Structure 1
Amino acid sequence: MTRQPLRLAILEGERILAAAGVASPRTDAELIAAHVLGVERTRLPLVPLVDPPVVDAIGQLVTQRAKRIPLQHLLGWAQLGPVTLAVGPGVFVPRPETELLLDWGLRAIKTLSEPTVIDLCTGSGALALAVANARPDAVVYGVDNDAPALSWARRNADLRAQAGDTPITLYSGDVADPTLLTELDGRVDLVLCNPPYVPDHTVVPPEVADHDPPQAVFSGHDGLATIRHVVTLAARLLRPEGWMGIEHDDSQGKSVPALLSLRRVLSDVEDHADLAGRPRFVTARRRPL
């Protein structure tokens, strides 16, 4: 059995994925190769030659990816900061840009001891578990109203607890429910949320349209239906001088901050751009008493 250059298999994968319209063909081809080989992507240059079955396995996954099945579904995992999360059909796949909201949130509670943090619309549990990983002293809650998403979140919470992270508490609840988490009213240091925010009928990539749960993506004609409820809920939960951060669509850089500015109990409303300079998330603070 003649061994073959791994480089050629990756180049062929890149070619196929580029022709299929995949946004990052080289990266995806390399991640698929690393997955098949069971090595870190950065170590691929140390594997110059591979056996034909490895080339075949890479080719099979590339073929699936070319059908626009999310890479994370094929690999079985996604990353948010240092935390690896199990993902698949039925749950929203965390995006790298959400790390900006995570980083901001961790800075907001940097000086606090044993902060209470709530991740609304938690999905896979990504933000909640990333906070628990970074702040073992934090009391962290994750909330979602979707049963399949919560099952993924529970699986990830169990995996992270086995890895030694601080356990989190998961709630099944709707952010529109005025009785949700009333026992925490005025006691929360930080509320984070990556809600559904895409306006209905927006054309989205096949990975989103065919594989992300619609209820985790779309939210009314203007994309703000869920965010309106999140703002009301977060304002109720926050302690005086507590912080909130909400991710939003890049078309909502004015409309979402305007929603927060209408709430008299909130101050320091600020919108933040992603690494490409696009509006990405908004933050605000509960006014002191």
Structure 2
Amino acid sequence: MTRQPLRLAILEAERTLAAAGVASPRTDAELLAAHLLGVERTKLMMVPLVDPPVVEALHDLVSRRAARVPLQHLTGHASLGAVTLSVGPGVFVPRPETELLLAWGESVLDGVERPVVVDLCTGSGALALALAHARPDAEVHAVEKDPTALSWARRNADQRAQAGDTPIRLYSGDVTDPRLFMELEGLVDLVVCNPPYVPDGTPVPPEVGDHDPHEAVFGGRDGLDVVRHVVGCAARLLRPGGGVAIEHDDTHGGSVPALLRARRVLTDVEDHTDLAGRPRFATARRTRPE
């Protein structure tokens, strides 16, 4: 059995993915090879030759990726901050853009002892678990209404707890319910949310349209159906000086900050861009008493 150069297999994979319209063909080809070999992507150069069955297995994975199955569904995981999460059919895959929102949330908690954190529309549990990892002293609550997504969040929460992170508190609930987290009203230091926000009918890549849950992506005619409730919930939950961060569509750079400013108790409203310079998330703070 003649061993084959891994470099050539990756070049072939890159060509296949590029022809299929995958946005980052080289990166995806290398990540699939690294996943298959059980090594870090940066260590691929240390594996010059591979057996033919490995090349075949890589070809199979690349074929599925060329059919626009999400990379994270093929590898079974995605990352946010310092945590790795299990993902697959039925749960929204965390995106790199959310890293900036996470960093802002961590900054709000600087100097706050034993902070209380709420993650609305938690999905896989990504933001809640990343914050719990960054702040082991935090009391983190996370809510999700979709049963399948909630089962992924529970799986991830169990894995992170086994890894030694502080356990989070997971709930089945709907952010549109005005009674949600009534026991936490006025007690929360940070509210974060990556809600469904894409306006209905907006064209999206096949990885999103065919694989992410529709209800986790689309947010009504203007994309703000859930966001409006998130703003109201955050205004109710935050303690004076607490902060809220809400991810949004790149067409919402004016509308989400406007929703935040419409709440008298919220101040310091700002919109933030992602690494590509597009409007990506809005933040505000709860007013302090005079």
- Which bin holds the TM-score, normalised by the shorter protein? over 0.9
> How far does residue 241 in structure 1 lie from its aligned partner after superposition?
1.1
Q: 1:257 aligns to what?
A: 257
Partners of 2:14 and 2:252 in 1: CA distance: 34
Partners of 2:13 and 2:91 in 1: CA distance: 27
Please say if 1:11 is aligned against 2:6: no
Q: 2:248 aligns to what?
A: 248
Question: What is the one-letter code of the residue matched to 2:151?
Answer: S
Question: What is the one-letter code of the residue matched to 2:120?
Answer: L
Q: 1:159 aligns to what?
A: 159
Q: 2:278 aligns to what?
A: 278
Q: 1:96 aligns to what?
A: 96
Q: 1:191-206, aligned counterparts within 5 Å?
A: 191-206=191-206
> How far does residue 147 in structure 1 lie from its aligned partner after superposition?
0.5
Partners of 1:234 and 1:256 in 2: CA distance: 13
Q: 1:179 aligns to what?
A: 179
Question: What is the one-letter code of the residue matched to 1:267?
Answer: T
What do residues 100-130 of structure 1 show as CA deviations (whole Å, max 9, x unaligned)?
0001100110110100000000000000000
What do residues 134-153 of structure 1 show as CA deviations (whole Å, max 9, x unaligned)?
10000001111111000000
> How far does residue 77 in structure 1 lie from its aligned partner after superposition?
0.4
Q: 1:214 aligns to what?
A: 214
Please say if 1:106 is aligned against 2:106: yes
Structure 2: give runs of 5+ residues left out of the alignment. Answer: none
Partners of 1:79 and 1:288 in 2: CA distance: 35
Q: 2:268 aligns to what?
A: 268
Q: 1:69 aligns to what?
A: 69
Partners of 1:68 and 1:204 in 2: CA distance: 12
Partners of 1:110 and 1:248 in 2: CA distance: 24
Partners of 1:189 and 1:148 in 2: CA distance: 28
Q: Which secondary structure state, in structure 1, belongs to the residue aligned with residue 39 of structure 2?
A: coil
Partners of 2:81 and 2:266 in 1: CA distance: 28
> How far does residue 172 in structure 1 lie from its aligned partner after superposition?
0.7
Question: What is the one-letter code of the residue matched to 1:39?
Answer: V
Please say if 1:43 is aligned against 2:63: no
> How far does residue 82 in structure 1 lie from its aligned partner after superposition?
1.1
> How far does residue 288 in structure 1 lie from its aligned partner after superposition?
1.1
Partners of 2:63 and 2:152 in 1: CA distance: 26
- What is the TM-score with the length of structure 2 in the denominator? 0.99
> How far does residue 171 in structure 1 lie from its aligned partner after superposition?
0.8
Question: What is the one-letter code of the residue matched to 2:26?
Answer: R
- What is the TM-score with the length of structure 1 in the denominator? 0.99
Partners of 1:110 and 1:59 in 2: CA distance: 47
What do residues 149-207 of structure 1 show as CA deviations (whole Å, max 9, x unaligned)?
00000000000000000000001111110111100000000000000000001110000
> How far does residue 81 in structure 1 lie from its aligned partner after superposition?
1.3
Q: 2:230 aligns to what?
A: 230
What do residues 18-68 of structure 1 show as CA deviations (whole Å, max 9, x unaligned)?
000101100000000001100000000111111111111110000000000
> How far does residue 132 in structure 1 lie from its aligned partner after superposition?
0.5
Count of matched residue positions in the alignment of Structure 1 and Structure 2? 289
Q: 1:85 aligns to what?
A: 85
Q: Which secondary structure state, in structure 2, belongs to the residue aligned with residue 149 of structure 1?
A: helix
Partners of 2:276 and 2:205 in 1: CA distance: 19
Q: Which secondary structure state, in structure 2, belongs to the residue aligned with residue 124 of structure 1?
A: coil
Question: What is the one-letter code of the residue matched to 1:205?
Answer: P
- Give me the identity figure in percent: 73
Q: CA RMSD in A?
A: 0.5
Q: Which secondary structure state, in structure 1, belongs to the residue aligned with residue 136 of structure 2?
A: coil
> How far does residue 17 in structure 1 lie from its aligned partner after superposition?
0.4
Partners of 1:37 and 1:54 in 2: CA distance: 8
Q: Which secondary structure state, in structure 2, belongs to the residue aligned with residue 91 of structure 1?
A: coil
Question: What is the one-letter code of the residue matched to 2:12?
Answer: E
